[in-house]
């Protein structure tokens, strides 16, 4: 299956104020891969995710998904295949109940009402928050909001899952649950994160972004074990390699 | 809590109340809307100096508040919050319309007093009915109800966005004011500080609104308010509810029910 291959070629993007967010960025992610996107603040991770989701368009270069170049003309087709979970769930949740929040994508995609109900129930079950179905999102804890935000994206049945800082603000138990949940997904996953231990556990491959371009890429164990490289890019070794406590796991 | 945080709390409270399970909550949103719309129209149609004719209409908000199990204190507090504007006009009537209208023996009651009472009563009736409509049906289900008709879809989308973005604006304003108060040593916002705060406030609100919009677009939103679940059908109860209230409102408008009832109680002396 080649339809989930993501190719980014010489991507360049500057914000209207002139800030160069991405420059000459190229990489390729194959079907079913789980890739960590790491980098210091302002390295361009979130901007890149917005390009992959078809919410921003390259000024030069191109983004291809399954062989199709992302353009304004085929954007609806692309957005059906890519699901983006935002960094802050409060930026993503806007409907009055969890059910309507999760139903938002399938309803917009024209799924018949009976199937929407079934789909929402199954996704909420999968994420482990079916008890929150009738509740308003603003009454939920941060961890619950994040789970609902993930369910809301999964309900769109995307092939590719983009996650922006998925473990930010989660307590150790919720973080562990999230890791286990994501580990079970067969989607092609791109995880932009500062949580290098999560990257170590979840993603066999890592791409480091620095100043809007790829500074290094390769197997996570090699990249995340290279202290010199990480320091150059404004990062540190994962806690597990520093001899620090392993968040959310039991010490042996 | 600051004024802004209170306002936000009120909005959340209204949505919580709308999730109730009473007879009124289970009505079709259209039935609730039609009954409230006819009620407000009838209330507004009474002449300027009418007070007794309006009295029987108190039954409608009282009925919905009681049956929907809405907290009376909460509704009255909201009425007070929005009342200053109407109070101003009522006071203006008291001062400027001094022509005598009603005579009690040697005393005359100025027309301004009657029109002020009528204005306040109409305000109380209309706003309490509107509040109970929002608190029993919810604003978003109402938007969904409107969106069923192609003609009203843009209107439903605009209403929905105004509602959601008002939340967002309040949240951002409350955060900003809280951040200021934490470091302001107990003093309030000075006039010159508003200038410094208004820019970041607008920018932050815009940035969050943009994020929210992107989140919607990423999930297939194309400008049309989506409808959730199959269209709810009107039942006999809904039709009975609307028709009973409409008949009652029209009766109250055409017949002076207060005088009629008074006459009956006093043994048909009138």
Is the CB of A92 less than 8 angstroms away from the CB of B19?
no
Q: Quick check: B10 pLDDT over 90? A: no
Which residues 10-49 in chain A show a CB within 8 A of chain B? none
A169-198 mean pLDDT: 91
Cβ-based contacts of B208 with chain A (< 8 Å): 90-91
Q: Count of alpha carbons within 13 Å of A4, Cβ hemisphere only?
A: 20
Whether A252 maps to a domain, the answer reads no
Question: Is A137 within 8 Å of chain B by CB?
Answer: no
DSSP A183-233: HT--SEEEEE-S-HHHHHHH-SEEEEEETTEEEEEEEHHHHTT-HHHHHHT
- Cross-chain Cβ contact B15/A96 below 8 Å: yes
* CB-based contact B228 A99, cutoff 8 Å: yes
Mean pLDDT for all residues in chain B: 84
pLDDT > 70? residue A238: yes
Banded model confidence at residue B148, pLDDT cuts 50, 70, 90: confident
Question: Any idea what DSSP says for residue A55?
Answer: S
Name the E strands within A81-212: 82-85, 160-164, 188-192, 205-210
Query: Quick check: A96 and B228 CB within 8 A?
Result: no
The residue range of the domain holding A91 is: 6-238
Residue from B171, B149, B136, B148 nearest B22 by CA: B136
Q: Which of B220, B225, B231 has the highest number of chain A CBs within 10 A, making it the mutation to test binding with A?
A: B220
Whole-number mean pLDDT of chain A? Answer: 89
Per-residue pLDDT tens over the stretch B183-201: 777 677 777 777 778 888 8
Residue B70: strand, helix, or coil = coil
**B138 vs A96: CB contact, 8 Å cut-off?**
yes
Q: What is the reported pLDDT for A252? A: 42
Tokens 């562990």 belong to: A176
What is the pLDDT averaged over residues B217-241?
82
Is the dihedral angle over the CA atoms B239, B240, B244, B245 positive or is it negative? negative
| pLDDT number for residue A38 | 95
> Which residue of chain A is at minimal alpha-carbon distance from B166?
A94
Q: Note the pLDDT of residue B1.
A: 58
Share above pLDDT 90 across residues of chain A, in percent, rounded to a whole number: 63
CB contact under 8 A, B140 and A96: yes
Residue A84 forms part of a structural domain: yes
Mean pLDDT to the nearest integer, A206-217:
94
Q: Considering only A107-121, B2-16, B57-71, B167-181, which range has the smallest mean pLDDT?
A: B2-16
Note whether A94 contacts B216, CB cutoff 8 Å. Answer: yes
Q: Where are the domains of chain B?
A: 16-148+230-259, 150-226
**A119: in domain:** yes
Best B213, B215, B223, B227 residue to mutate vs chain A (most A CBs within 10 Å)? B215
User: Between A178 and B190, whose confidence is greater?
Assistant: A178
Helix (H) or strand (E) holding A25: strand A20-29
In a domain? residue A246? no
* pLDDT in the model for residue A34: 94
Pairwise CA distance, residues B81 & B44, whole Å: 21
- What is the mean pLDDT of the segment spanning A35-59? 93
Structural tokens at position B145 = 């109800």
Q: Give the minimum alpha-carbon distance from A46 to chain B in angstroms, rounded to a whole number.
A: 12
Q: At what angle do helices B111-137 and B29-45 cross, to 10 degrees?
A: 180
In a domain, A243, yes or no: no
Q: Report the range of poorest mean pLDDT among A19-28, A178-187, B5-14, B170-179.
A: B5-14
Task: Answer whether A200 touches B (CB < 8 Å).
Answer: no
Higher pLDDT, B263 or B46: B46
pLDDT of residue A226: 93
According to the model, what pLDDT value does residue A3 have? Answer: 65
Q: How confident is the model at residue B137 (pLDDT cuts 50, 70, 90)?
A: confident
Chain B: which residues have CB within 8 Å of chain A? 12, 15-16, 18-19, 138-140, 164, 208, 211-212, 214-222, 226-230
For position B86, what pLDDT does the model report? Answer: 87
Question: Is pLDDT at B23 greater than 70 in this prediction?
Answer: yes
What distance in Å separates residue B135's CA from the closest CA in chain A? 13
Q: Which residue has the tokens 């999230």?
A: A178
User: Which chain A residues are Cβ-neighbours of B233 within 8 angstroms?
Assistant: none
Determine the Cα–Cα distance for residues A215 and A27; give it in Å rounded to an integer.
11
Residue A60 has pLDDT above 90, yes or no: yes
Q: Which of B139, B216, B220 comes nearest A109 by C-beta?
A: B220
- The CATH number of residue A44's host domain is 3.40.50.300
Whether A244 is in a domain gets the answer no
- b/e string for B135-160 if b means 16 or more Cβ within 10 A? bbbbbbbbbbbbbeeeeebeebbebb
Q: Identify the pLDDT of residue A169.
A: 86
Q: What is the count of residue pairs from A and B with beta carbons less than 8 Å apart?
A: 78
C-beta atoms surrounding A167 within 10 Å: 24
Tens of pLDDT, residue by residue over B100-133, are: 777 777 777 788 888 899 999 999 999 999 988 8
How many Å apart are CA A180 and CA A191, to the nearest integer? 14
pLDDT(B265) > 90: no
The answer to whether the Cβ–Cβ distance between B228 and A100 falls below 8 Å is yes
The string of DSSP codes covering B200-227 is HHHHHHHHHHHHHHHHHHHTT--SSPPP
Domain count, chain A: 1
Quote the CA–CA distance of A149 and A143 in Å, as a whole number: 10
Task: List, in sequence order, every residue forming a beta bridge with A69; answer none if it has no partner.
Answer: A64
Write out pLDDT tens, residues B45-72. 998 888 888 889 999 999 998 888 888 8
Mean pLDDT of A88-116: 88
**Assembly ipTM:** 0.78
Mutation test of the interface with chain B: which of A55, A56, A108, choosing the one with the most B Cβ atoms within 10 A? A108
Q: Is the dihedral of CA B234, B24, B13, B166 positive or negative?
A: positive
Confidence of residue B182 (pLDDT cuts 50, 70, 90): confident
A156 contacts in B (CB within 8 Å)? 219-220
Q: Which of A170-184, A219-233, B89-103 comes out lowest in average pLDDT?
A: B89-103
| Chain B CA closest to residue A162 | B218
pLDDT of the residue at A220:
95
Sign of the C-alpha dihedral, residues B2, B3, B7, B10? positive
Burial of residue B134, with CB atoms counted within 10 A of its CB: 0-12 exposed, 13-18 middle, 19 or more buried: middle
């Amino acid at each position: 299956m080649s339809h989930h291959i993501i190719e980014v070629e010489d991507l360049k993007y500057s914000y209207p104020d002139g800030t160069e967010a991405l420059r000459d960025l190229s990489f390729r992610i194959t079907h079913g891969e789980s890739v960590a996107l790491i980098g210091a603040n302002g390295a361009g991770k979130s901007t890149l995710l917005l390009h992959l989701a078809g919410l921003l368009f390259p000024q030069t270069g191109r983004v291809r998904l399954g062989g199709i170049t992302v353009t304004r003309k085929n954007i609806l087709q692309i957005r059906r295949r890519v699901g983006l979970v935002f960094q802050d769930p409060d930026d993503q949740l806007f409907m009055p109940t969890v059910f309507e929040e999760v139903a938002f994508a399938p309803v917009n995609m024209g799924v018949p009402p009976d199937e929407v109900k079934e789909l929402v129930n199954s996704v909420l079950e999968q994420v482990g928050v079916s008890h929150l179905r009738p509740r308003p999102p603003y009454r939920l804890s941060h961890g619950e909001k994040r789970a609902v935000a993930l369910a809301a994206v999964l309900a769109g049945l995307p092939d590719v899952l983009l996650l922006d800082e998925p473990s930010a603000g989660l307590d150790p138990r919720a973080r562990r649950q999230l890791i286990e949940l994501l580990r079970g997904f067969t989607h092609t996953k791109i995880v932009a994160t500062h949580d290098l231990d999560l990257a170590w556990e979840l993603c066999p491959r890592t791409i480091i972004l620095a100043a809007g371009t790829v500074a290094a890429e390769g197997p996570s164990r090699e990249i995340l074990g290279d202290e010199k490289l990480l320091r150059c890019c404004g990062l540190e070794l994962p806690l597990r390699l520093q001899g620090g406590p392993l968040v959310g796991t039991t010490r042996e | 809590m600051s004024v802004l945080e209170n306002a936000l709390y009120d909005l959340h409270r209204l949505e919580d109340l709308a999730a109730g399970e009473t007879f009124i909550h289970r009505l079709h949103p259209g039935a609730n809307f039609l009954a409230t719309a006819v009620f407000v129209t009838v209330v507004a149609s009474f002449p300027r100096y009418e007070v007794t004719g309006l009295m029987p209409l108190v039954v409608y908000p009282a009925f919905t508040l009681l049956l929907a199990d809405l907290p009376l204190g909460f509704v009255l507090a909201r009425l007070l919050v929005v009342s200053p504007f109407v109070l101003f006009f009522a006071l203006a009537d008291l001062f400027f319309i001094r022509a005598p209208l009603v005579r009690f023996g040697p005393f005359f009651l100025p027309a301004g007093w009657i029109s002020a009472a009528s204005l306040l009563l109409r305000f109380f009736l209309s706003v309490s009915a509107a509040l109970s409509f929002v608190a029993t049906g919810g604003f978003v289900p109402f938007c969904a109800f409107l969106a069923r008709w192609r003609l009203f879809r843009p209107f439903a989308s605009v209403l929905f966005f105004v509602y959601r973005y008002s939340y967002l604006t309040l949240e951002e304003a409350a955060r900003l004011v809280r951040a200021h108060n934490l470091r302001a040593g107990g003093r309030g916002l000075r006039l010159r500080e508003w200038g410094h705060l208004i820019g970041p406030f607008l920018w932050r609100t815009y940035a969050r609104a943009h994020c929210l919009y992107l989140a919607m677009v990423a999930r297939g939103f194309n400008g049309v308010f989506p409808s959730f679940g199959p269209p709810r059908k009107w039942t006999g109860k809904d039709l009975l509810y609307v028709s009973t209230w409409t008949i009652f409102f029209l009766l109250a408008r055409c017949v002076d029910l207060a005088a009629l009832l008074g006459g009956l109680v006093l043994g048909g002396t009138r």
